[in-house]
Amino acid sequence: MKRGILEIHDLRKHYRLRRTRLLKKPGSIKALNGVSLSISKGESFGLVGESGCGKSTTAYTIVGLLKPTEGRILFKGDDVTSLKRNQKREFRKKVQLIFQDTSGSLNPRGTVEWILREPLRAMGMQKREIKELILESMNLVGLDKDLLGRFPHELSGGQKQRVGIMNALILNPEVVIADEPISSLDVSIQAQILNLMNDLQERLSLTYLFISHDLNVVHYFCDRIAVMYLGEIVELSESEELYRSPLHPYTQSLLSAIPGETGHKLERIILEGDAPSPLNPPTGCFFHPRCFRRMAICSSVKPQMTEVTKDHFVSCHLY
Amino acid sequence: MNCESESLLEIKDLKIAFKTPEGIFHAVKGISLEVGKREIVGIVGESGCGKTVTALSIMHILPDNSVATGSIDFSGIDLLSLKENETRETRGRDISMIFQDSLSSLNPLMKVGRQIEENLMMHTSLDSRNRFLEVLDIMHKVGLPDPEQTYKKYPHELSGGMRQRIAIAIAIVCNPDLIIADEPTTALDVTVQAQILELLRKINRESNSSIIFISHNLGVVREICSIVYVMYAGHIVEKGPVNKLFTDPAHPYTMGLIKAIPKRDSKGKELFDIRGRVPSIADSIPGCPFEPRCDYAVERCKKEFPGFKKIANDHEARCFLAGDI
């Protein structure tokens, strides 16, 4: 594999639970169970999966909002988990996050200008510079400068997300992690934001890690896609290839479950039950209790990631 | 589902306004729609277009500061003119509703089985033994595993999909003629969404209930509904059979919505986006509410909002250019 701008090796995040009984060993929620991926410069990498599969935990761990239990995160070859304070600051400038919930991620008591100014001031920029930079980037994301004095509740959903995007881009990052950036928006606004993000990628040569539960959107937006299930990556491939010939039964069922006209040839597969709890994951392959192609081996042996065709990886005993 | 089916619910010129300290706001501005027996009718629109308020008015559970005028005819009864105690009779028995967020629509302090039973207690004369059996039966029917155990659980002990199944069980236990499902799958994962849609289709087929399916997700609506109404800013702007609406939309707003969804072949191309944003409820618009965002708008659209123009027998849209674009 060639060196990516952002690489994750065997990332694990476990949450210890409180001891329920005195002599019982406390359990732990295994949110991430060894996630590895490598994102190359300039690409859009998609991470899909259902709620609770660890998509957001991955994002938060990369930017340092959560501490990984194990594993390494490399940005341009340097391990960011062991950075010194001032190096960390540099890293945070270069890797930024766009949040899902726009109303929750913008300070309700600050004006748009204050929200945008604060991170710049923390980075030690001069007042004059800050003002110029803010105006310039307002222009970039298509916001009117009259909005600077407004508070978040006075903005529409689309405008709020544009402020969120601006907040991420204003320090000129190289990697932007977008955690469900459009799922709280209306359909007609979703397209606007996707187009904006595409346009910005071209202009600023950004690298995206795009997290979503919507396979159609990820397929549209990303070059490569990793499918997550219960804290693990179960399939990783170039996006067109994944869409055309999904290998993992979970990916197949996800694709077949997209409602409406998708042009997908797959027969509808309706999975039984819900995703199991990460507190008490099944043995063997995590997907086997819901899998429609399970075999005897699946309940006891965990499958390994294998490259089935070129650049198409899957972890399933069928291959 | 044939077009000649008798009508079950007929809404005529429904207007809903809210009185607030800032003034009176009109959320629904005169809509008419019809639901036939055994039909699944979809209402599509973006947030704030008035779809949920319409549903609440059918259920007679609008907030106190609202005024609804017009008529809602439900097999011969005008629901809007009913008194509160009279609506209690129909609500839950003849018409029931499934809400988007099952965690907040279920009572957190009551066992889920009891919550289903409550509806039977209100509307039937079954004794407690038979009610219990009925509840187990309905839980089995909506696909809940191990009904006797699940009966004793509280909402927070169940997953999102299972909670939504409980909400559906409550809604269908009295065999209603009409089920209003307000974004029933929006909070769910795609694989669970597919399960719930399948369940709703089965209910519609087997117990002959009509369903009003409210959603912002065009894909879901396409999958389950036969007739679709598209709402924008408190108005219905287009109505038609689901397939015609999707293959040959007549209103520029519907067209935009369909074009804005990424599809299989849209990769690498710029997505179509509807510029601007949905008008606020406080804006007063003399002409067509979609005019500021419309690519086809002409001078006339600024001043006048056209009535429905027929494109085909059962397909109409409120646009001067409908059928010509």
ipTM of the complex: 0.81
Element (H, E) at B160: helix B160-172
Q: Which of residues A267 and B36 earns the better pLDDT score?
A: B36
Q: What is the pTM of this model?
A: 0.86
What's the average model confidence in pLDDT over A32-37? Answer: 92
Chain A CB within 8 Å of residue B136 CB = no
Place B2 in a pLDDT band, splitting at 50, 70 and 90: very low
Chain A CB within 8 Å of residue B271 CB = yes
Min CA distance, A179 vs chain B (Å)? 16
Contact A240 B267 (CB under 8 A): yes
Can you give the pLDDT at residue B3?
Answer: 47
Chain A CB within 8 Å of residue B50 CB = no
Write out the two tokens for B23: 């003034």
In terms of C-beta density within 10 A (0-12 exposed, 13-18 middle, 19 or more buried), how is residue B181 classed?
buried
**Quick check: B96 pLDDT over 80?**
yes
Min CA distance, B221 vs chain A (Å)? 8
Min CA distance, A41 vs chain B (Å)? 18
Cβ-nearest to B194 among A240, A270, A274: A270
For chain B, what is the radius of gyration of the CA atoms?
A: 21
What's the average model confidence in pLDDT over B63-89? Answer: 90
Min CA distance, B266 vs chain A (Å)? 7
Task: Look up tokens 């038609």; give the residue.
Answer: B240
**Quick check: A134 pLDDT over 60?**
yes
Q: Which of B61-70, B85-94, B113-122 has the lowest mean pLDDT?
A: B85-94
Contact B264 A260 (CB under 8 A): no
Write out the two tokens for B171: 């809604």
Contact A261 B263 (CB under 8 A): yes
Contact B198 A270 (CB under 8 A): yes
**Quick check: A22 pLDDT over 80?**
no
**pLDDT tens column, B236-274:** 999 999 999 999 999 999 999 998 888 877 887 888 888
Can you give the pLDDT at residue A273?
Answer: 76
What is the CATH classification number for the domain harbouring A203?
3.40.50.300
Select from B26, B34, B21 the least CA-distant residue to B69: B26
Highest mean pLDDT among A25-34, A261-270, B107-116: B107-116
Contact A186 B216 (CB under 8 A): yes
**Whole-number mean pLDDT of chain B?**
90
Select from A22, A68, A31, A74 the least CA-distant residue to A49: A31
Pairing of strands A232-238, A306-309: unpaired
CATH class of B7-94+176-317: alpha beta
First to last CA, chain B: 29
Domain carrying residue A85: 6-314
Place B143 in a pLDDT band, splitting at 50, 70 and 90: confident
**Quick check: A313 pLDDT over 90?**
yes
Q: Which residue of chain B comes nearest to A265, CA vs CA?
A: B264
Place B5 in a pLDDT band, splitting at 50, 70 and 90: low
Select from A68, A66, A59 the least CA-distant residue to A39: A59
Residue type, B286: P
Pairing of strands B178-182, B95-98: parallel
Place B286 in a pLDDT band, splitting at 50, 70 and 90: confident
Cβ-nearest to A254 among B190, B195, B275: B190
**Quick check: A265 pLDDT over 70?**
no
Can you give the pLDDT at residue B1?
Answer: 43
Q: Which residue of chain A comes nearest to B242, CA vs CA?
A: A260
Contact B260 A191 (CB under 8 A): yes
What's the average model confidence in pLDDT over B22-32? Answer: 92
What's the average model confidence in pLDDT over A110-115? Answer: 92
Cβ-nearest to B273 among A192, A263, A271: A192
A with B: how many residue pairs have Cβ under 8 Å apart? 120
Min CA distance, B259 vs chain A (Å)? 9
Chain B CB within 8 Å of residue A189 CB = yes
Residue A195 CB contacts under 8 Å (≥ 6 apart), including other chains: B270, B271, B273
Place B215 in a pLDDT band, splitting at 50, 70 and 90: very high
**Quick check: A171 pLDDT over 60?**
yes
**pLDDT tens column, A56-67:** 899 999 998 899
Task: Look up tokens 């222009």; give the residue.
Answer: A139
Place A268 in a pLDDT band, splitting at 50, 70 and 90: confident
**Quick check: A261 pLDDT over 70?**
no
**Whole-number mean pLDDT of chain A?**
88
Chain A CB within 8 Å of residue B81 CB = no
What's the average model confidence in pLDDT over A65-86? Answer: 89
Chain B CB within 8 Å of residue A216 CB = yes
Can you give the pLDDT at residue B86?
Answer: 87
Coil, strand, or helix at residue B217? coil
Tell me, yes or no, whether A299 lies in a domain: yes
Q: Which residue of chain B comes nearest to A217, CA vs CA?
A: B262
Other Cβ atoms closer than 10 A to A39:
22
- From chain B, the residues in CB contact with A198 under 8 A are 270
Contact A257 B277 (CB under 8 A): no
Other Cβ atoms closer than 10 A to B82:
17
Q: Which residue of chain A comes nearest to B157, CA vs CA?
A: A277
- From chain B, the residues in CB contact with A51 under 8 A are 160, 189
Provide, rounded to the nearest whole percent, the portion of chain B with pLDDT above 90. 64
Select from B49, B62, B54, B17 the least CA-distant residue to B35: B54
- Indicate where chain B has its CATH 3.40.50.300 domain(s): 7-94+176-317
- From chain A, the residues in CB contact with B161 under 8 A are 274
When scoring B144, B258, B271, B275 by the number of chain A Cβ atoms within 10 A, the one with the most, hence best to mutate, is B271
Tell me, yes or no, whether A319 lies in a domain: no
**Structural domain total, chain A:** 1
Tell me, yes or no, whether A1 lies in a domain: no
Min CA distance, A243 vs chain B (Å)? 9
Residues 155-184 on A with a CB inside 8 Å of B are 156-159
